[in-house]
Structure 1
Amino acid sequence: MKWRARLPWLRRALVAGFLLVAAFLLWRYARMVDWHEVVAAIAGYPASRLALAAAASLLAYSCYCSFDVLARAYTGHALRLRRVLAIAFVCYAFNLNLGAVVGGIGFRYRLYSHAGLRLSTISRVVAFTIASNWSGFLLLGGLSLAFAPVALPAQWPVAPWVLPVAGSVMLAALATWLGLCAFSPRRSWSPRGHRIELPSLAIALSQLVLACASWLAIATILYLLLLADVAFVTVAGILLLSVLANLVIRVPANLGVMEAVFVALLGAQLGTAQVLAAVLTWRALFHIGPLLLAAMLYLFLEAHAGRKPAARRNEAQRSDHD
């Protein structure tokens, strides 16, 4: 049929449109960054401090990519480990810079489907990685808010009891999740044809450990770059608080929200210039650099997406028990 003959052209047009949209988002993001300040801030740091911060960034990405490796064991698909890691890295970098819907979800569906996974399996991978990341946030954020809440500025309209209560709710939600994984007699549901399967307690705890390590590594980058006598617990607490603030003010990459929270809470103590320098350098190391690498890797994966699709599909699905 004629429409089938046009499918390759339609697919190419959709890919081109997708890349144009991604390029536009990247261009808009780049315009919002003061690159002169970034360069000046990086130039002012000792090389040893930047190396440590870069190592912490690598650790954070490694932990996050491990979510997809765990999801591989959880779903039973047999996609090669190196391809899983490549897809996870691309999705994490795009997620941080373009938002979860585009990066964490959209790119995973595209790249995993090219690799031969079924949509049902991809949906389970996506849900698994999201749950992994937020399990660590619930634990660290809950502990921070419940037992060591940061002192908010007097002009912020937040009652003193709100943060401890929010932290307690977060810890209760995590405990409920782990309890279900450990003790629920029913392990799977299929609402509207979508399969939901509880992981084992061992996998859930592995998710939690990796997610905590990832969040702590991110906080370590900022701690190293602040170059001041600020407690690590305080830096981590402000980071987690900025993430909560961004859940209310939805901004891709937390752009602007994080800077505002850090300046409001540390600007009087360290000076606005120093705080902004640390956050901008953090963005360069943790957002911009990995984004450039992920863009090149994504183009490589796209270029090789059409090679041996049948063999790749068989490999990816031979252990898929959907």
Structure 2
Amino acid sequence: MSDSDAMPFPDVQTLPGSGTPIWRRIRRWALPVLGLVVLALLLSHAHKVDWAGAWQALRRYSPGVLLAALALCTASHALYGCYDLIGRHHTRHGLPRWRSWAIAVTSYAFNLNLGSLVGGVAMRARLYARAGLDETTVAQIVGLSLATNWLGYGLVAGCVFASGVVKLPSESTLGEGAFRALGLLMLLLAVAYVLACAKMQGRQWKVRGRRVQLPSPRLALVQLGVAAANWALMASAMYLLLGGQVPYSVTLGVLLAASVVGVVTPIPAGLGVLEAVYLALLSGSVRQGALMGALLAYRALYYLVPLGGGLVLYVLLERYASAHPPPAADGNQELSPPPLR
């Protein structure tokens, strides 16, 4: 996943470009430099990869296994679409559920392949604006979606990392104890979010003349549950492609580690990052050819095939928006979120 977005605070009008000018300058140069370093390392090791073995592993997959993995990947994308339904419930905008879901699914497919600014933010903003929603409402939806994804990540990754099922490479600079502490911190952040939603329930803030507020604690729990299930589905597809050669918990842990590395590495679709992390953490458990075959199949089924579906959905959404222009006041009502039933 996925998910390759950075997590903002949910109810803000714009994604924070915050920090001191020094931090902005560091961030502007540090991330591209890190990306180039990672890319150089990947290219330097590319000739060591058993590509012939990977091709043989791909050819050995039965149609049934590939179809089952595709079904899991499709279910994950469909579940991600529910993130924007959470935003719809919270903001009480008037778009039909199917349209909100389709916008989220389309954006996710582009997000995975082209980066968060294109899919996660820009495409969502365009499609929701075409539907008649104002900027504040769109920002809340995007913020809640990103928060849902990464809070669910923190819940699942916290449990996996704190349990110690993922063994770091011996050359890793992060010790086993520090890794488990990181997992515990992630769990505490997820719990803190739910507690904050409970403590600040009903409290509102003014943003550009609109009232915004945190979700209810019940909706916060729904966020965690839906996102945790989505990360579990992603790992299930990879586990199936690996043929059960490593325990599911380990497959899940490696996927979570690869996902967070992909976030901080500015390479579209995390190209090569997923493969590098899996090779580093599982090279002693799975033959390199079989591992690369599973990774290539996963990238095709989870990234490339949904992109084709996303393109079709995007065209359909644009045509629907052209045929059904929104009323002037649609999506601009100032409403408080209802209680979750």
Alignment of 1:150 onto 2:134: no
Q: How does 1:161-240 map to 2 (within 5 A)?
A: 161-184=177-200, 187-190=203-206, 196-240=212-256
Q: 1:284 to 1:36 in 2, by over 3 A?
A: farther
Cα deviation code 1:159-213 (max 9, x no counterpart): 2222111111111111111101122256222367675411011111111111011
* Separation in structure 2 between the aligned mates of residue 191 and residue 171 of structure 1, nearest angstrom: 30
* Separation in structure 1 between the aligned mates of residue 143 and residue 201 of structure 2, nearest angstrom: 21
* Separation in structure 1 between the aligned mates of residue 137 and residue 53 of structure 2, nearest angstrom: 44
Task: Tell me the residue number matched to 1:10.
Answer: none
TM-score by length of 2: 0.78
In the alignment, which of 295, 303, 307 is matched to residue 291 of structure 1? 307
* Separation in structure 2 between the aligned mates of residue 42 and residue 297 of structure 1, nearest angstrom: 29
The code of the aligned residue for 2:179 comes to L
Q: 1:283 to 1:185 in 2, by over 3 A?
A: closer
Task: Tell me the residue number matched to 1:73.
Answer: 89
SS for the counterpart of 1:190 is strand
Which stretch shifts more, 149-158 or 90-99? 149-158
Number of residue pairs matched? Answer: 289
Q: 1:301 to 1:36 in 2, by over 3 A?
A: farther
The code of the aligned residue for 1:77 comes to H
* Separation in structure 2 between the aligned mates of residue 151 and residue 127 of structure 1, nearest angstrom: 33
Structure 2 gap ranges (5+): 1-42, 44-50, 337-341
Q: 1:104 to 1:39 in 2, by over 3 A?
A: farther
Which stretch shifts more, 153-162 or 35-44? 35-44
Task: Tell me the residue number matched to 2:331.
Answer: 317
In the alignment, which of 267, 279, 282 is matched to residue 251 of structure 1? 267
Alignment of 1:282 onto 2:303: no
| Structure 1 residue 43 displacement after superposition | 3.7
SS for the counterpart of 2:72 is helix
| Structure 1 residue 40 displacement after superposition | 6.3
* Separation in structure 2 between the aligned mates of residue 68 and residue 37 of structure 1, nearest angstrom: 41
Note if contact 2:70-2:237 (Cα within 8 Å) is conserved in structure 1. yes
Percent identity of paired positions between Structure 1 and Structure 2: 35
- Structure having the higher helix fraction is 1
Note if contact 1:149-1:163 (Cα within 8 Å) is conserved in structure 2. no
Alignment of 1:262 onto 2:272: no
Q: 1:155 to 1:191 in 2, by over 3 A?
A: same
Note if contact 2:54-2:289 (Cα within 8 Å) is conserved in structure 1. no
Q: 1:75 to 1:160 in 2, by over 3 A?
A: same
| Structure 1 residue 42 displacement after superposition | 4.5
* Separation in structure 1 between the aligned mates of residue 279 and residue 259 of structure 2, nearest angstrom: 15
In the alignment, which of 98, 101, 104 is matched to residue 82 of structure 1? 98
Structure 1 gap ranges (5+): 1-31
Cα deviation code 1:111-159 (max 9, x no counterpart): 0000111111101100111111111101001111111341111122222
Alignment of 1:94 onto 2:104: no
Q: CA RMSD in A?
A: 2.6
The code of the aligned residue for 2:84 comes to D
SS for the counterpart of 1:309 is coil
Which stretch shifts more, 290-299 or 177-186? 177-186
TM-score by length of 1: 0.82
